[in-house]
């Protein structure tokens, strides 16, 4: 029996216009009544996820910052912090790359340095609580740094992602989107957060279902027996998943859930 479902946001649960599926709230509440929890697993900031789900904030589990933070509703469960000197090292590596914009992500908010308006607008889509400061490195010792994100408008894969991975062998560097890389403490991922939730809830991988579309979802899918890559997913993720779901513009997550939990009589087929 499935007891925990986890879904990525962008490219998975959300369509290409960043919209939630119709009737999503009703499905989450119906699943909760059946004893099934739903976790949103995202690279987004925790405060951003609370903003995105104002009516479900007390119903959902949140895996935020690509697994570096997790919360059950409004109750924080854990933060996996990057040591201050390693956080500063990551920022220095990002500063050395032309055209790459760093974001220092802490348990209490995100910070950027003076940057162009296009980058700041892009960043605020994912970071609800964000402040502009003159320098990021001095902040590494002032708060729990859970992640250092790097935005590369020229494309991260094959460029800045590879450079950061080479420069930071002692840290985990993951490709979280076509233009984003994330640096975290080694071993931290959406999958490590999922395994921590499994231990906390007393459930096993065979009781878990997960959906994703990009490489930062790989460990999440590996932590769940019922692993679904979206039809629009990265080829490497499709190769690792046990099943394929319809694409995010086809309400793929909802289609699988309505069939798996026999919800079509109540909510109708997902289109």
Task: Inform me whether the pLDDT recorded for 182 exceeds 60.
Answer: yes
What was the pLDDT predicted at 247? 97
Could you give the percent of the chain with pLDDT greater than 70?
97
What was the pLDDT predicted at 265? 52
Task: Tell me how far CA of residue 174 lies from CA of 12, 162, 179, 189, in angstroms.
Answer: 18, 10, 12, 9
Helices (H), 34-178: 46-52, 84-95, 117-126, 161-167
Task: Inform me whether the pLDDT recorded for 270 exceeds 60.
Answer: no
Task: Inform me whether the pLDDT recorded for 267 exceeds 60.
Answer: no
What was the pLDDT predicted at 142? 81
| Multiple choice CATH, 4-79+188-267, 1.10.3720.10, 1.10.10.10, 3.40.1350.10, 3.40.50.1000 | 3.40.50.1000
Task: Inform me whether the pLDDT recorded for 262 exceeds 90.
Answer: no
Task: Inform me whether the pLDDT recorded for 97 exceeds 70.
Answer: yes
Interval 209-229 mean pLDDT: 97
| Cα atoms found within 13 Å of the Cα of residue 230, Cβ hemisphere only | 28
User: Where are the domains positioned within the chain?
Assistant: 4-79+188-267, 84-184
Task: Tell me how far CA of residue 176 lies from CA of 25, 69, 256, in angstroms.
Answer: 26, 16, 24
CATH topology match: 4-79+188-267 vs 84-184? no
Residue of 29, 33, 34 whose CA lies nearest to 58: 29
Could you give the percent of the chain with pLDDT greater than 90?
89
**pLDDT averaged over every residue in the chain:** 94
| Multiple choice CATH, 84-184, 3.30.1240.10, 3.30.413.10, 2.40.160.10, 2.60.120.10 | 3.30.1240.10
Tokens of 178: 């076509």
Query: For the segment 50-64, what is each residue's pLDDT rounded down to a tens digit?
Result: 999 999 999 999 999
What was the pLDDT predicted at 87? 97
Task: Inform me whether the pLDDT recorded for 144 exceeds 60.
Answer: yes
Residue of 192, 208, 211 whose CA lies nearest to 65: 192
Q: How far apart are CA 75 and CA 17, in angstroms?
A: 30
Model confidence at 143, pLDDT cuts 50, 70, 90, reads confident
Q: Which range among 1-10, 136-145, 212-221 shows the weakest confidence by mean pLDDT?
A: 136-145
Task: Inform me whether the pLDDT recorded for 91 exceeds 90.
Answer: yes
What was the pLDDT predicted at 269? 57
Q: How many CB atoms lie within 10 A of CB 221?
A: 27
């Amino acid at each position: 029996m499935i007891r925990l479902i986890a879904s990525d946001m962008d490219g998975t649960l959300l369509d290409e216009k960043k919209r939630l599926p119709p009737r999503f709230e009703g499905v989450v509440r119906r699943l909760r009544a059946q004893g099934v929890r739903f976790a949103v697993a995202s690279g987004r900031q925790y405060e951003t996820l609370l903003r995105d789900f104002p009516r479900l904030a007390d119903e959902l589990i949140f895996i935020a910052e690509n697994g570096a933070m997790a919360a059950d509703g409004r109750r924080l469960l854990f933060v996996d912090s990057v040591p201050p000197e390693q956080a500063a090292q990551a920022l220095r590596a990002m500063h050395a790359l032309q055209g790459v914009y760093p974001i220092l992500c802490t348990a209490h908010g995100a910070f950027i340095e003076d940057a162009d308006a296009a980058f700041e607008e892009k960043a605020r889509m994912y970071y609800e609580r964000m402040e502009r400061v003159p320098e990021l490195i001095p902040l590494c010792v002032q708060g729990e740094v859970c992640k250092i994100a790097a935005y590369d408008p020229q494309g991260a894969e094959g460029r800045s992602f590879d450079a950061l991975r080479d420069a930071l062998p002692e840290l985990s560097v993951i490709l979280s989107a076509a233009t984003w890389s994330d640096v975290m403490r080694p071993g931290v991922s959406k999958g490590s957060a999922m395994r921590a939730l499994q231990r906390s809830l007393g459930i096993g991988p065979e009781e878990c279902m997960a959906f994703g579309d990009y490489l930062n979802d790989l460990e999440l899918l590996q932590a769940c027996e019922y692993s679904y890559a979206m039809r629009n997913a990265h080829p490497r993720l499709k190769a690792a998943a046990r099943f394929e779901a319809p694409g995010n513009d086809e309400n793929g997550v909802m289609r699988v859930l309505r069939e798996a939990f026999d919800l079509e009589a109540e909510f109708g087929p997902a289109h």
